[in-house]
A and B are shown apart, each in its own frame.
Chain A
Amino acid sequence: MEEQQLIQCAKEGDKSSMEALFRMHVDSAVRTAFMITHNWQTAEDAVQEAFIKAFRSLGKFQEGKPFKPWLTKIVVNQSRKAWARFHSPWDELDLQLADESSQGLPETRLLEWEKRSHLIEAVKLLGEKHRLPLVLKYLSGLSEAEIGEVLGLPVSTVKSRLYVARRQLAQKLAAIERGEQDGKAQPGRAHR
């Protein structure tokens, strides 16, 4: 069933359509929430609350519009509240390297892993003002106009924040590669 049909049925109280919408968007929602709450469990709790709110206020959802930006706005607000409540430090998550790790990594894969690891450290060092648009663009897959809707900002501001975020990312990445890692942003990543 098309997303718009699912929304229509969910508005009429159809549980299976709600579940289909949930399964369609939960993965992306939790990833986004994690980048705000810094904690996987808190992210899941925030997303759970966000879905309950979203389904309860489906009547306000404008027909024909994409569901994801509308839901993401609720997820972002819920996650910000959760972060403000708990101020959790970053979870120690490993970068996923498929299953080859047990059989020894080829050098290129190891270099790629190290590069990504540094990039993540640099992302963590960004302020929320610049990190959030980056997350919404590259992780949630929203357009700049949709990011503007989610954050309540004009598109020009979103563009400028993304520009600044990328520049800051490059600077922080260079500092990390030179070994000037900020203590705040180096939670014990498990190097294997």
Chain B
Amino acid sequence: MEKRSQAVPTDEEIRAALTSYTDRPVSAEKMWANIGGALESQPRTRWQWPALQPWLALGSAAVLCLIIILSRPTPPPPQPPVEIGPQIMRFAAPAPITASARPADGGVTVELTAVDEVLLGESAAAVRIVRQEGTGQAEVGHATASELAGARLTPGEVRHVFLPVPLPSEPGTYQVQIQLEVVGAEGPHVVDLFTSLTINREE
């Protein structure tokens, strides 16, 4: 009995269940009326583009020339005071996910914690380990991880991702940069996460 209930459903059973579950009347007439209306309001056909292109090119060139001529004699305008507020707000905008990293055997383990419910995109997460060198940065290693692609994380959910990145040989603190694709209300977008990685080597 137990064995029978563990059986994998057949293709036909899955197909029949999904088909009968979604067997609903579709408001096709209403939908087509809306689609037709939207297409009417913004007609776009292929043959119009070649006709428009010379005008567009000519117009763009004229505007460009005008900008160059007008910008030459005028002295550079005084720099407006730097508005710190909006910049801080941009950086302080809460990411839907936080990260921390720690060294592991043969690589780095990244711990991701969802702040809100978050749906990750299909692109692989990219991870870079960098070292600060004066004003610039030098990459120590990088890797990608696709096991989280398409994952949905609930608030507070923690996921660990192991990355086979060669660990820096010198002890110190390194920056770990993680790029994740997140599917939000406006569609998929890339979220950059930064965390530090401390290497304590006992030689």
6 inter-chain pairs at a CB distance below 8 angstroms, sorted by A residue, are A12-B47, A31-B19, A56-B42, A81-B186, A153-B122, A171-B6
Q: Which of A85, A97, A127 contacts B152 (CB 8 A)?
A: A127
A interface secondary structure, majority = helix
Are A55's CB and B39's CB within 8 A?
A: yes
Known: A81-B186, A166-B8. A87 touches B18 (CB 8 A): no
The interface residues of chain B lying within 8 Å CB-to-CB of A84 are 119, 183-185
B111 within 8 A of A: no
Please give me the 5 A-B residue pairs with the lowest Cβ-Cβ distance, nearest first: A129-B150, A31-B22, A119-B17, A116-B17, A13-B45
Q: How far is the CA of A119 from the CA of B117 in the complex (A)?
A: 26
Are A169's CB and B185's CB within 8 A?
A: no
The interface residues of chain A lying within 8 Å CB-to-CB of B39 are 15, 18, 52, 55-56
Q: Chain A, 45-79, contact with B by CB distance < 8 Å: what is the 0/1 string?
A: 00110011001100100000000000000000100
Number of residues on chain A facing chain B (CB within 8 A): 60
Q: How far is the CA of A96 from the CA of B18 in the complex (A)?
A: 10
Q: Chain A, 149-192, contact with B by CB distance < 8 Å: what is the 0/1 string?
A: 00111000100000000110111011001100000000000000
Smallest CB-CB separation from A167: which chain B residue?
A: B8
Are B35's CB and A52's CB within 8 A?
A: yes
B55 within 8 A of A: no
Q: Which of A55, A93, A178 contacts B21 (CB 8 A)?
A: A93
Q: Chain B, 139-163, contact with A by CB distance < 8 Å: what is the 0/1 string?
A: 0000000100111100000000000
Q: How far is the CA of A92 from the CA of B5 in the complex (A)?
A: 26
Are A170's CB and B150's CB within 8 A?
A: no
Are A116's CB and B21's CB within 8 A?
A: yes
The interface residues of chain B lying within 8 Å CB-to-CB of A152 are 122-123
- A contact residues vs B (CB 8 Å cutoff): 11-13, 15, 18-19, 22-23, 26-27, 30-31, 34-35, 40, 44, 47-48, 51-52, 55-56, 59, 77, 80-81, 83-85, 87, 93, 95-97, 115-116, 119-120, 123, 127-129, 132, 134-135, 138-139, 151-153, 157, 166-167, 169-171, 173-174, 177-178
Most chain-A CB neighbours within 10 Å: which of B32, B42, B146, B150? B150
Known: A81-B186, A93-B21, A169-B9. A116 touches B45 (CB 8 A): no
Q: Nearest chain A CB to B182's CB is how many angstroms away?
A: 9
The interface residues of chain B lying within 8 Å CB-to-CB of A138 are 11, 14-15, 18-19
Known: A13-B45, A48-B34, A171-B6. A135 touches B27 (CB 8 A): no
The interface residues of chain B lying within 8 Å CB-to-CB of A51 are 31, 35
The interface residues of chain A lying within 8 Å CB-to-CB of B32 are 19, 22-23
B26 within 8 A of A: yes
- B contact residues vs A (CB 8 Å cutoff): 2, 5-9, 11, 13-24, 26-28, 31-32, 34-36, 38-39, 42-47, 117, 119, 122-123, 146, 149-152, 183-187
Known: A19-B32, A27-B26. A139 touches B6 (CB 8 A): no
Q: How far is the CA of A123 from the CA of B16 in the complex (A)?
A: 13
Q: How far is the CA of A103 from the CA of B202 in the complex (A)?
A: 80
Q: How far is the CA of A44 from the CA of B119 in the complex (A)?
A: 22
The interface residues of chain A lying within 8 Å CB-to-CB of B117 are 87
Known: A22-B32, A115-B13, A128-B152. A173 touches B5 (CB 8 A): yes
Are A127's CB and B9's CB within 8 A?
A: no
The interface residues of chain A lying within 8 Å CB-to-CB of B14 are 119, 123, 134, 138, 166, 169
The interface residues of chain B lying within 8 Å CB-to-CB of A22 are 28, 31-32, 35
